[in-house]
Amino acid sequence: MEPAEYQTMRAAEEHHWWYVGLHHLLINLVRREAAKFRRPLDILDAGCGTGRLCELLQPFGNVTGCDIHPLALEAAAQRGIRCVLRRDLVSDDLGSEQYDLITCVDVLYHRAVNDEQAALRNLHRALRKRGLLILHLPAFELLRGAHDLAVHTRHRFRRDETIRLLQSAGFTVQFASYRLFACFLPALLWRTFTRLVAPDRCDGTPRSDLALSSSPRTNQWLARYVKAENRFLAIPIPLPIGTSVFALARK
């Protein structure tokens, strides 16, 4: 992504409704998975970005973060994440049967990942038998906009496509759904507008949606909505449409 986006992400992860809602979903899933074990989990956050999720995962076991960008690794280390590795998910060795659980959140969409199938095979190899992969991806090419320019989106995914990719890599898909159902239409209208009429740029540099300001009350209400939606996904009840794809897959 654009270098400035790492700073924007680092500043937003603890309070922005999108991150708060996503992390609420992920941590509840990891907590449920951890309850099956009588020991700390070995966890990999594959594509850890600035490290907020690694930070939240630490109560559940031994957390390793990996990313390819030096700015991400630096930010994660500043959060106190002790094991942060520079790894390319496509070409670098992630180990064999090293982890009980892997999170991969908004990584495989990136233009630096030129072969998502190879990356998924790499993650499959790194998981222990019956290990869990939690995968999250941006959905629907028609939602492409200035945000995607800022974060270097190569591809936006569909649910069926994600299932096929996971199965081809050797995973058993336990659950797959879209997320942020109520956000789909507003996102479509906004991104279509900015793409066709008023590209969201500042001094020629594309800006992500994190640059959009909202009042604290709006942010709070949106976070509440996402947490309510998370209850359906936890049941699990799949949603027919949304701005992201979310999947749980077993080795």
17-55 core/surface letters (b: 16 or more CB in 10 A; e: else): bbbbbbbebbeebbeebbeeeeeebbbbbbbbbbbbbbb
Output the pLDDT for position 8: 79
Q: Write the CB contacts of 235 (distance below 8 Å, at least 6 apart in sequence).
A: none
Helices first, then strands: H and E counts in the chain: 9, 9
Virtual torsion, Cα 13, 26, 138, 127, nearest 10 deg: 120
Helices (H), 13-158: 17-34, 52-57, 70-78, 116-126, 146-151
Model confidence band, residue 204 (pLDDT cutoffs 50, 70, 90): low
Q: What average pLDDT score do residues 81-97 get? A: 95
What distance lies between CA 9 and its chain's CA centroid?
Answer: 13
> Is pLDDT above 60 for 203?
no
The pLDDT tens digits for 51-66 are: 999 999 999 999 999 9
Count the neighbouring beta carbons within 10 Å of the beta carbon of residue 242.
Answer: 22
For 3-250, CATH gives 3.40.50.150
**CA geometry: angle at 93 spanning 89 and 97, to 5°?**
100
The pLDDT tens digits for 2-48 are: 777 778 788 889 999 999 999 999 999 999 999 999 899 999 999 99
Tell me the pairing of strands 172-179 and 244-250.
antiparallel
CA distance readout (Å), 134 to 28, 43, 104, 120, 224 = 12, 11, 6, 11, 22
Output the pLDDT for position 10: 83
> Is pLDDT above 90 for 205?
no
Output the pLDDT for position 144: 92
> Is pLDDT above 80 for 140?
yes
| Residue closest to 192 by CA, chosen among 140, 235, 126 | 140
Model confidence band, residue 213 (pLDDT cutoffs 50, 70, 90): low
> Is pLDDT above 50 for 202?
no
Distance CA(135)–CA(108), nearest Å, equals: 9
